[in-house]
Amino acid sequence: MVTVIHPNLEKTDAKMNAKDVSVYYGDKMAIDNVSIEIPTKYVTAFIGPSGCGKSTFLRTMNRMNDTIPSARVEGEITLDGEDIYKSKMDVVQLRARVGMVFQKPNPFPKSIYDNIAYGPKIHGIAEGKDELDAIVETSLQRAGLWNEVKDRLADSGTALSGGQQQRLCIARAIAVDPEVILMDEPCSALDPIATAKIEELIADLNGSYAIVIVTHSMQQAARVSQRTAFFHLGKMVEYGRTSDIFTNPLEQRTQDYITGRYG
Amino acid sequence: MSPAILLLLAVGLGLAGWIAARSRAWAFKREAAAGERLAALPTYHAWYVALWIIIPMTLFIILWATTSPYLINQSVLASDAAAGLPAVDFQREALLREARAVADGSRPGVFNQDAKVLIEPFREAISRNNLIGILGSLIVGFLGGVWSFLRLKPDFTARTRVEKTVMSILLLASLVAILTTLGIVVSLVFETVRFFGMVSPIDFLFGTHWGPDPMANPENPDPTRYGAIPLFWGTIYIGAIIAMIVAIPLGLMSAIYLTQYASPKLRSWLKPALEILAGVPTVVYGYFAALTVAPFVRDIAVSIGISNASSESALAAGLVMGVMIIPFVSSMADDSIAAVPQAMRDGSLAMGATTSETIKRVLVPAALPGIVAGIMLAISRAIGETMIVVMAAGAAANLSANPLEAMTTVTFQIVAMLTGEGSFDHPATLSAFALGFVLFLVTLGLNFVALRVVKRFREAYE
Ligand SMILES: Nc1ncnc2c1ncn2[C@@H]1O[C@H](COP(=O)(O)OP(=O)(O)OP(=O)(O)O)[C@@H](O)[C@H]1O
Ligand SMILES: [Mg+2]
C-alpha cells in the first residue's frame, strides 16, 4: 500500500527528501516504506495516533536515532540532494544544519547565555565575544524571549518556566542557523498560553526555515502548518496541503482520525 | 545458671503463650456469628501474647545478668568469712576472683589459702542468685503472659499492636549502631581531653616536630615533641594529593568510558570488575606497595640520579592508595553521570556536539556535584587508610614536599603510639586518641559535606 498524495499539491523546492525509508528497532519495523518531500520555507506537520512512528521518522532526519543502538534505517534521505546516511556523512555537521527541539524542554544546566552560546561555540560560528553576544541576542529575539530574559542572562536556564524553557530550546536551535528545524511535540508539556506563544514563534520562523512539527493537536496542525502527513502503524497514509487534509481527506482512516473517531 | 539458658526458657514460655493465644483466638472465631470477623488474624493474637512474654523476660534476664556478679560479691563481702580479708583493694579483688572461680566450677582449687574460706559463701550466694534469676524471669514472663492473654477479645486490635512492637524492635536495632558510634566518640573525647591536659592543643596542632618519647617522664612531657603538623602533612600529601592525582583522573575516565562508550555487555562485566578493587583487603595493597611499588620507585629515582632515595616513600604509598581509591571515585561519578537525564545528552547531540564535547560541556558539569561528593568520600577513605602507609610510607615524621622521602601519617602514628612501650596514661600513648579525634572530625566533616552535596544534586533532577 502506498501513500495517497493529494492531487492538487503544488510542486515546491524540496529541502529534504525521503525515499522508501524503513526503520527497524531490532527486528521490529517502526517505519514502513515512507517517502516524503520536506519543502523549504514551509511548516510540515506529522500527525497520527500514538506509537505510529512519528518521532522515529523525525529522528531519522537528523540521525538522532544513531544514539539508539538497535535502530536501523533503510532507504535514502537527502538534504539538498546529499544522502545523509552515506558513510562519509559528517553527522556533527548534519545536526548543525538540521536542528531539533524536543517534547520536554531540555535546557542545559547552564546560564541562559551559555545555553544559546553552546552551539555557536562548538561549531566555531562566532568570532569573538561581540559576535557571540550578537548571536545570543538575535536568537533570543527571534524566539520571542529576549525581553523576558535580557536582564538575567546569567541565570540558570533551568530556572525559567516551562514555556520559557521551550522557547530557550528553540532559540538554542536557531543560534547555529540551521536550515531545517525538527520539533517533536514541542508544546505537549506546556499550558495554552505558552503554547500560543510557541505557535506564534513558529509562524514567525516560517519562511526562513524548513520546519517539521509532530503534534497530537489537530488544531495546532491546522493553525501552524501548510503541509500535513498522516501516519498510521508505521506507514504514511496520506500527505497533502494542510487545508486539503483537514477539509477533504481522501482516506477513511485519515477522516476517522481527524474527526476524533479514532484513538 | 547462664543467661543463655534463661533466654531459652523465655522462648519456650513464649511459644506456650503463642499456642495458647492462638487457640483462644480460634475459639473466638468459632463463637463469632456468621459474617463477623476478628479485628486481627489469630496469629496476631498469638504474637501479641508471645511478645508480652518474651520481651519482659528478656529485659529481666539482661538486668539480672548484669547486676548479679555485683550482688554476689556484695553478699559475700557482707558475710562473716569476709571479715579477715586484706584491706588493700587489688589483693582483696584477687582473692575474691579466685574463690569465685572455684565456686562456679571454672577452676579446680585455690592457690591462695586465704581464699578458701570464701568459697562456701560464694557457693551459697551463687545458688541463691540463680534461684532469683529463674523465679524472677518465670514470674515476669508469667505475669506478662497472663495480663496480655486476658486482654484478648474478638475485637482486640492485636495486629496494630504487634506492628508497633516490631517497629520499636527495628528502631532499637538501628539505635545500637548509632549509640555504639556515640560511645566511641565519647571515649575518644575523654582520652583526648586527658591528653590536652598534658600537652597544649596549640603545641599539638601547630608544632612542626613529632617525636614523642614513651620512656620520658609522663609528669612533664616535652611539648615540642608533640607537634602533629608533619603527620597532618604526610596524611594530606599521601592521601589527598598523591592518591588523588592517581584516582581522580583514572576514576573519572573509567566512569565516562563505562557510561558513555562501553557497550552494555562490556559494561556488565567491566563495572563489577572495577568494583572488586574495592573489596581487596588493604593489607594486600599494603604489601604490594611495600614489596613491589616502593622498590620500583626507588630504582627509578636512583636511575635518574637521585642516589639517596629511600625504599620507603610517600610516592609508593600514595600511588597504591590511589589505585585502591579508584572504585570509590568511579562508582560515584558513574552514578551521577548516569543520573543526568538522557534528554540533556540528546539535546547536546542534536546541537551537533560530538560525544566527547557532550561529556565535557554538558554531562560532567551537570554531574559535577555528585563527582565532587565522590571525591570527598574517597579522600576521607584515603586519609583514614592505615595498612598501606604502615607498610610502605615509613615512620619518619618528615615535613617535606619531596615524594621520594619517607613520610608518616596520622593513622600510622596512632598504631605506633598505641602499640608502643609507653604506659597507658603516658602522653605518648594518649596522643593516639587526640590524633584519632582529629582524623574523626575531618572525615566526619568530609562525609557530611559530601552527603549534603549529593542530596542537593538528587533533588535537582527530581
Ligand atoms: N528505542 C526504541 N526501541 C525499540 N522500539 C522503539 C523505540 N522507540 C520507539 N519504538 C517503537 O517504535 C514505534 C514508534 O514509536 P514512536 O516513538 O516513533 O511513536 P510516535 O508516533 O512518536 O508516538 P507518540 O505519539 O506516542 O510519541 C512504537 O511501536 C515504539 O514502541
Ligand atoms: Mg513521539
Predicted confidence (pLDDT) per residue in B2-25, tens digit: 788 889 999 999 999 999 999 998
Best mutation site among A21, A47, A54 for ligand 1 pocket (most ligand atoms within 8 Å of CB): A54
Domain range summary for chain B, segments of one domain joined by +: 3-156, 166-193, 223-461
Closest CA to B428 of B217, B235, B230: B217
CA dist., res. B348 & res. B362, Å (int): 7
Q: Which residue has the cell 505557535?
A: A199
- Amino acid at the residue B97: R
Three-state DSSP state, A88: coil
Mean pLDDT for the stretch of residues A95-124: 92
Best mutation site among A22, A24, A52, A217 for ligand 1 pocket (most ligand atoms within 8 Å of CB): A52
What is chain A's percent helix, strand, coil content, to nearest 5?
35, 30, 35
Q: Does A156 touch chain B (CB under 8 A)?
A: no
CA dist., res. B320 & res. B323, Å (int): 5
Residue A46 has phi, psi (to 5 degrees) of: -105, 120
Lowest mean pLDDT among A132-146, A163-177, A209-223, B377-391: B377-391
Atom of ligand 1 nearest to the CA of A70: 3
Report whether B289 contacts B392 (CB < 8 A).
yes
Dihedral (Cα; B250, B255, B256, B258), 10-degree rounding: 120
Q: What is the length of chain B?
A: 462
pLDDT band at B394 (very low <50, low <70, confident <90, very high): confident
CA dist., res. A241 & res. B24, Å (int): 81
CA dist., res. B103 & res. A25, Å (int): 82
CA dist., res. B395 & res. B389, Å (int): 9
State residue B458's pLDDT score: 67
Is any ligand 1 atom within 6 A of the Cβ of residue A253?
A: no
B346 CB neighbours in chain A (<8 A) are: 64, 67, 102, 106
CA dist., res. B310 & res. B398, Å (int): 13
Give the strand order in the sheet containing A14-25.
A28-39, A14-25, A71-79, A82-83
Tens-digit pLDDT profile for residues A53-68: 999 999 999 999 988 8
Mean pLDDT for the stretch of residues A18-35: 94
State residue A220's pLDDT score: 92
pLDDT of B462 higher than 60: no
CA dist., res. B41 & res. B44, Å (int): 6
- For atom 7 of ligand 1, the residue with the nearest CA is A25
Q: How far is the CA of A103 from the centre of ligand 2 (A)?
A: 8
Q: What is the length of chain A?
A: 263
Dihedral (Cα; B87, B90, B95, B101), 10-degree rounding: 150
CA dist., res. A95 & res. A101, Å (int): 12
Cβ contacts of residue A151 below 8 Å, gap of 6+?
Answer: none
pLDDT band at B459 (very low <50, low <70, confident <90, very high): low
Q: How far is the CA of A231 from the centre of ligand 1 (A)?
A: 12
Interface test with A, best of B337, B349, B351 (most A CBs within 10 A): B351
Q: Which ligand is nearest to the CA of A54?
A: 1
Q: Does B109 touch chain A (CB under 8 A)?
A: no
> CB distance B344–A93 less than 8 Å?
no
Tens-digit pLDDT profile for residues B404-442: 888 888 988 998 888 877 777 888 888 999 999 999 999
Cβ contacts of residue B243 below 8 Å, gap of 6+?
Answer: B318, B319, B321, B322, B324, B325, B382
Interface test with B, best of A67, A93, A135 (most B CBs within 10 A): A67
Tens-digit pLDDT profile for residues B191-246: 999 999 888 889 999 988 888 887 877 777 788 888 899 999 999 999 999 999 99
Tens-digit pLDDT profile for residues A175-221: 998 999 999 999 888 888 888 888 988 998 888 889 999 999 999 99
Residue B114, judged by CB atoms within 10 A of its CB (0-12, 13-18, 19+), counts as middle
A28-39 and A14-25 strand pairing: antiparallel
Q: Does A159 touch chain B (CB under 8 A)?
A: no
Q: Which CATH architecture has domain B223-461?
A: Orthogonal Bundle (1.10)
Give the dihedral sign, CA B58/B64/B67/B68.
negative
Atom of ligand 1 nearest to the CA of A53: 18
The gap from C-alpha B166 to its chain's centroid, in whole angstroms, comes to: 25
CA dist., res. A144 & res. A134, Å (int): 15
Atom of ligand 1 nearest to the CA of A49: 25
State residue A63's pLDDT score: 94
pTM of the model: 0.72
* Distance from the first to the final alpha carbon of chain B: 58
